[in-house]
Amino acid sequence: MPDRRKTGEEMLRGIPVSQGVSQGRVVVLNRSRIVPAKAGFEIDDQAGEEARLQTALAETRKQLTAVQERLRDEFGAKESQIFDAHLLVLEDPALMEEVGRQVRDEHHTPEYAFYTASEKYAEALSAVDDSYLSERAADIRDVTQRVLGNLMGQPQRAGVSDLTEPCIVVANDLTPSDTAQLDPAKVLGFVTEVGSRTSHTAILARSLQIPAVLGLGEAIEELKPGQTVLLDGFNGFVIISPSEQTLFEYGQLVERQSSIEESLDEIRTEPAKTLDGHTIILSANIERAGDVEAVRKSGATGVGLFRTEFLFINRSDLPNEEEQFQAYKKVTESLAPEPVIIRTLDLGGDKLLSHVNVAAEMNPFLGWRAIRLCLEEKDLFRTQLRAILRASAFGDLKIMYPMVSGMDELDAANVLLDECRDQLRAEGVEFAENLEIGVMIETPSAAMIADSLARCVQFFSIGTNDLIQYSLAVDRLNEKIAHLYEPTHPGILRLIKTTVDAGQAQKIWTGVCGEMAGELAMVALLIGLGVAELSVVPSLVPRVKMLIRSIEMAKARELAEFALNCDSPGEILARAEALAKAAVPDFFEKTA
């Protein structure tokens, strides 16, 4: 609900995805989504309908390529790569075969066929509990709207590029295509009803340095054309008709944030060491080889989680060994001598891999995914393992297996890894003989047998997102029960402590690479529990480092001791937040 303040101003809250403060008049983009009605055509018209589809696909490809080239010219290769996924949608054989089948066999119009086929894929991606993958549904829908617009002769994304004066843009959603067309001189900031921090829209907003607040929900209806609003991209607030006092306070906030950014830059190359001298390894999570520069700029100590899924999704074939090797080598070599931890493929039985024969599953997240899929699709797994081993010759590369639930899976994976080692030795190919192996602790069973796992690996990395969901039986994407998703639940903290203790008993370290590692209120709690490494997205590294450098390990251990003996998640969270706020109050100050 909006906060109606005594001054007459009204405050709305969303998700801050691109920092900055801006003030301006609202322009609402009322662009409806194209949803074609079910319709058919006469059999005699089939050739013409198929030709119409091919023309629309060609025009869409041309439009996307033009957007990509402009981004490359203005911002570089990294931002332009966002549209690689868009272009690959048009090449996806499973999607195109389904569209063709509907046109050919069921005589559905191309627009209805394309819409229904692509929406099926988008819905599957939306259901995945991985923010990176679920947000790719927006990419598919973006491409779909372009194709439909071209098929139906409707203007593409009208309105975004036609703004004539500086304003705050308000919309139900802005697709990556929309965002790429925004002119920072005209768009002072933007607000949307839906969206998240990991969306391509958010990524582009940060590249364009346009303040943005997404995910406002139904409260967006409060924003009307012509209103004067203040947009706070630091904290996620949108203030309608801000008072003079609010404007004054936000002027001070901008100054403080500038000062904070300067302080963060000063400690970029400093270690993440507590006030009483305890060093934490602070690493970065990345999704593609092009993220290396962001890791360097952040001041992270290497990579604690290199997701390899980007190589496998939105394409018509499996990546071969050489393609994977080049990607892994680039990251490893570029960051040497800092460590790089590669997570093996973590996709599953929810039909994301159109080139792997996967049967439908009632619950794919309790099904055929991650290490389970890899141990069945051995050729796919061997290809990745060989590529990783080859890349290990170029730096401090480590490997970890996701979703391990028992010793049999770890043993089977290591057998395949040893087979690949033997093959490479026979071929005379160099690799690191002492490659460190780790497992992700994401299931309660893995945490409970951590003592056994610890005897066979060199490190643990806790994936808190899945560990919390599986332990509490909570789907955090289900709005009805999302409030039960509690990182500070005593059961979760005891599983983390059990894992850490098992590792320490075998003299191996435990890290955390899930979202919990990047939540400032959780940092002291985690290191107090004995976690030796935190891995977060590059943009969060400086703030997490500043927090670590502002607390005492003794205080963190006191917090952990309290948490392990407390039955209330709320009390634990309050105590953790209090410690973090006392250490770095500026990070938590919200002017509004």
d(CA 289, CA 343): 13
Cα–chain center distance at 326: 23
- 167, 374, 420, 513: the catalytic one is 513
Query: What three-state secondary structure class fits 477?
Result: coil
d(CA 298, CA 286): 12
Q: Which positions ≥6 away from 389 have C-beta within 8 Å?
A: 417, 420, 421, 424, 431, 432, 435
Catalytic residue status for 566: no
How would you classify the pairing of strands 237-240 and 228-232? antiparallel
The burial class, CB within 10 Å (0-12 / 13-18 / 19+), for 330 is middle
Going edge to edge, which strands form the sheet with 21-29? 3-4, 10-13, 237-240, 228-232, 21-29, 167-171, 187-192, 212-214, 15-18
Contact predicate 82/290, CB 8 Å: no
Listed as own residue / partner, the contacts of 238-242 with beta carbons closer than 8 Å and 24 or more positions apart are 238/11, 238/12, 238/13, 238/14, 238/191, 238/213, 239/9, 239/10, 239/11, 239/12, 239/592, 240/9, 240/10, 240/11, 240/12, 241/8, 241/9, 241/10, 242/9, 242/23
DSSP 34: P
Distances (CA, A) of 14 to 133, 194, 232, 241: 22, 9, 10, 17
Q: How many CA atoms lie within 13 A of 282 on its CB side?
A: 32
Q: Torsion-angle region of residue 233: left (phi > 0), alpha (psi -120 to 50) or beta?
A: alpha
Cα–chain center distance at 372: 23
d(CA 370, CA 130): 12
Query: What three-state secondary structure class fits 586?
Result: helix
How would you classify the pairing of strands 237-240 and 212-214? unpaired
Query: Which residue, 84, 132, 54, is CA-closest to 352?
Result: 132
- 200, 374, 420, 489: the catalytic one is 200
What residues are labeled active site?
Answer: 200, 513
